Structure 1
Amino acid sequence: MAFASSAETAPLGEMNMTPLIDVLLVLLIMFVITIPLSAHSIDIDVGSNTEKFEFDPIVNKVVVTESGTVLWNGQPASQSELKSNLLLASRIAPEPELQFEPEGNASYDLSAHTLRTIKASPVTKFGFVGNDQYREFGAK
């Protein structure tokens, strides 16, 4: 029978890192889960130059046309007029629903810019309408 030498039976002097790494990963996951989401808002005070626009107390509609025009309830509106209309519409009690409907070949850039304007406004009731007509690509 062969006996092991004393050098082979000596305990290892290294720390087992696996449990330490496991604990650190669990703590990292718990930290990420408990971080609160920050909500940013910007208050915009714009003038009230909306005498020519109609406000529906139930539903207001924003349409981006193929010709590059933004319509507020069927009337052409610039981006600054859109901002003031959104501000005034949000102050109506109860707040009317805002519907957004871009036409099929409307400019993507203008649609995205209009959506950013709506997102920056205090409007809380917002919806996309008319999407069902584009259910199949190239249908219209």
Structure 2
Amino acid sequence: MAFASSSGGGPMADINVTPLVDVMLVLLIIFMVTAPTLSYPIDINLPQKSTTPPPPTPPKEPIKLRIDASGQVYWNESAQPISALKSMMEVEVQRDPSNQPALEIDTSPDADYGVLAKVLAAAKNADMQKIGFVSN
């Protein structure tokens, strides 16, 4: 009987979902088969494995930069004006950009923050990559 009455109030129509499921499964299979053919390759040049690795480069001696309480900046224990720091850092970076020396900054607890900010700005503008802070 296509129409059944569960509550006795009138006919109730049940939709047969079996053909709908069959059609959806067929469409799913069609999309799964045709989807890989719709994609197209992209040429990529990947790096190739090298049999001779590059020789290891030893790390350079770090640059010790100290700022004392009066605001004086010392580059490897020699006093330098703040205006000369950027050019000195650029020279160090240009020597070997891939193996830069580390910049170790040691500040006095009483040092002015403005001096440290100028030193960090000079290091950033000189493209220094390795910057560290020394704590005593």
Answering whether residue 116 of structure 2 is matched by residue 121 of structure 1, we say no
Partner of 2:113: 108
**Aligned equivalents of 2:111, 2:133: Cα separation in 1:** 15
Partner of 1:69: 72
Pairs within 5 Å for 1:18-57? 57=60
**Aligned equivalents of 1:84, 1:113: Cα separation in 2:** 13
**Aligned equivalents of 2:115, 2:101: Cα separation in 1:** 24
1:80 Cα deviation (Å)? 2.3
Identify which of 75, 97, 100 aligns with 1:95.
100
Stretches of 4+ aligned residues off by more than 4 angstroms: none
Answering whether residue 93 of structure 2 is matched by residue 82 of structure 1, we say no
Q: Deviations over 1:72-114 (max 9, x none)?
A: 1111111221111100111223311111111111111111122
Note if contact 2:87-2:126 (Cα within 8 Å) is conserved in structure 1.
no
**Aligned equivalents of 1:61, 1:125: Cα separation in 2:** 12
**Aligned equivalents of 1:102, 1:61: Cα separation in 2:** 11
Query: Structure 1: which 5+ runs fail to align?
Result: 1-56, 134-140
**Aligned equivalents of 1:125, 1:113: Cα separation in 2:** 17
Query: Structure 2: which 5+ runs fail to align?
Result: 1-59
The percentage of counterpart residues that share the same residue type is 28
SS at match of 1:119: helix
SS at match of 2:70: coil
CA RMSD of the aligned region, Å? Answer: 1.8
**Aligned equivalents of 1:124, 1:108: Cα separation in 2:** 21
SS at match of 1:61: strand
Q: Which amino acid aligns with 1:100?
A: I
**Aligned equivalents of 1:64, 1:73: Cα separation in 2:** 11
